[in-house]
Amino acid sequence: MGYVVESLKQLFGKAPARPDSAGMSAEARAVHQAKKRQPLSKEALEAAHAEHRARGGNHTWRNRRWATLIGVNLLFVISYYFDVQLVEGALTAARVVGFHFADLNASLQVTLAFREMVLNLMIGTATVTLMWWLLGGRTFCSWVCPYHLLAEGAEWLHLRLVQRRIIKDHTFHRGVRTLFYLVFALLALATGYTVFETVSPTGIVSRALIYGPTLALVWVGGLLLFEIFVSRRAWCRYVCPIGVTYGIVGTLSPLRVQYDVTDCHHEGDCRKVCLVPHVLDVTVKGRAASLRQDLTSDCTRCGLCVDVCPTSSLRFKVKGADKLL
């Protein structure tokens, strides 16, 4: 229950809870104290990182994710192009080998706009809810959403420009995403029109890939420019309601990223690569409340932190199964 509440709080913009020593398990307290008594030397830390780099770093999960994301989107394109009818539609609403699939946020928008839920939409929503519950909610963002891949490219450029001090990164309060969530829901209700779908880069890019480019791509280009020159991953961090909807489903999902404080160096490489670094607040020295903790459901399960961690302190896990992935 604590996990669900903390996940929802973080999803809606609240800062992560920071336990005092009374709220900590005895094991976690012992690890924190041992690290305080015998801190890791700078040399040992550098050696561990040099070793990780010498192994070529690790891009296992990133490569799997990119292959999946490109594969899923290509499936729609190929199916339409060759009229296979195996996969029909786009990411917002599709029929896959006869089964109806509907993006959860799009379903919500349609239901609010038309104030009714048609049978196909109900079936599609139920199928997708079950699928993303199993796969981990926001996994949709990093493993399927085509805008995510474009935004990763923009993020790479943004970070290089910041590093060279050509631009500054501007951050905003994460709570604005909740505000946008409510605004888009109210707009659908008030106008009877799925307003968010017209501006959602997920739907625009997905449809452009399948049916060909439209003028709406100019809007997507503008968003990417904003993310390159003004604010890192601004759309996904501060606006997109799709992430919130899938994050809510993900609070009960069995697939999570688990953190183990025992060997962690606390240098924060994981937080530097993360789209939602607040979920990794637990990796800051002295913050872990127990030896092992699951990252909250705002985590997109992208695996970048799992790849970058030199001590394997972050691993994928399926709740209830002993083995980590």
Considering the rule CB under 6 A, would residue 283 count as an interface residue with ligand SF4?
A: yes
Of the pair 6, 197, the CB lying nearest ligand SF4 is at 6
* Given 280, 288, 293, 315, the residue binding ligand SF4 (CB under 6 A): 280
The stretch among 107-115, 178-186, 193-201, 295-303 that binds ligand SF4 (CB under 6 A) is 295-303
Smallest distance, Å, CB 263 to ligand SF4? 7
Q: How many residues bind ligand SF4 (CB under 6 A)?
A: 29
The stretch among 10-18, 64-72, 94-102, 276-284 that binds ligand SF4 (CB under 6 A) is 276-284
Phi, psi dihedral angles at 294 (to 5 degrees) = -85, 135
Residues 109-168 that bind ligand SF4 (CB under 6 A): none
Smallest distance, Å, CB 307 to ligand SF4? 9
Considering the rule CB under 6 A, would residue 269 count as an interface residue with ligand SF4?
A: yes
- Vertex 286, ends 272 and 1: CA angle to 5°? 90
The CA distances from residue 3 to 7, 148, 250, 279, 318, in Å, are 6, 26, 11, 12, 15
Contact pattern for ligand SF4 over residues 302 through 321, marking x by CB under 6 A:
xxxx--xxxx-xx-------
Considering the rule CB under 6 A, would residue 250 count as an interface residue with ligand SF4?
A: no
* Given 35, 266, 291, 292, the residue binding ligand SF4 (CB under 6 A): 266
Token pair of 320 as six digits = 């209830």
Token pair of 243 as six digits = 């992430």
Considering the rule CB under 6 A, would residue 68 count as an interface residue with ligand SF4?
A: no
Contact pattern for ligand SF4 over residues 23 through 52, marking x by CB under 6 A:
------------------------------
Considering the rule CB under 6 A, would residue 299 count as an interface residue with ligand SF4?
A: yes
Smallest distance, Å, CB 282 to ligand SF4? 9
Of the pair 153, 221, the CB lying nearest ligand SF4 is at 153
Distance CA 265, CA 238 (A): 30
* Given 273, 278, 315, 317, the residue binding ligand SF4 (CB under 6 A): 273
Sites of contact with ligand SF4 (CB under 6 A): 257, 264-270, 273-276, 279-280, 283, 295, 299-305, 308-311, 313-314
